[in-house]
Amino acid sequence: MGRKVMTDLEEKIAAYNKERDKAVLGSLDDFIKFSEKYEVWFSSRQVALISQHKLRTAINATPSRMRQESIMWLERQGYMPWNDPDQTTTPKK
């Protein structure tokens, strides 16, 4: 079997995923800066923080301990993680 050569699109997707993972796993300011680069604007830092924790439960790059911490943080705030089959973006309260 030969080595698979990535297409230009696959390379762009891989680069985006790497950049996204670094932002999601980094600080809130890093995540907001990344989001704004791709024209995603949050109504508040709290909404950005909720989104960051939700993404940490969804992406494969998240270390297990960080994923569990985000799940617990979301549940304490009244939200459900994205990896939950009954996911929602509205509070459970």
Q: What pLDDT digit, counting tens, does each position of 13-63 carry?
A: 999 999 999 999 999 999 999 999 999 999 999 999 999 999 999 999 999
For residue 3, is it left (φ>0), alpha (ψ between -120 and 50) or beta? Answer: beta
What pTM does this model have? 0.81
Per-residue confidence at 89, pLDDT binned at 50, 70, 90?
very low
Q: Please check whether residue 67 lies inside any domain of the structure.
A: yes
Q: What is the number of structural domains in the chain? A: 1
Q: Please check whether residue 70 lies inside any domain of the structure.
A: yes
Per-residue confidence at 65, pLDDT binned at 50, 70, 90?
very high
Q: Please check whether residue 90 lies inside any domain of the structure.
A: no
Burial label for 5, CB within 10 Å (0-12, 13-18, 19+), is exposed
Q: Which domain holds residue 68?
A: 8-77
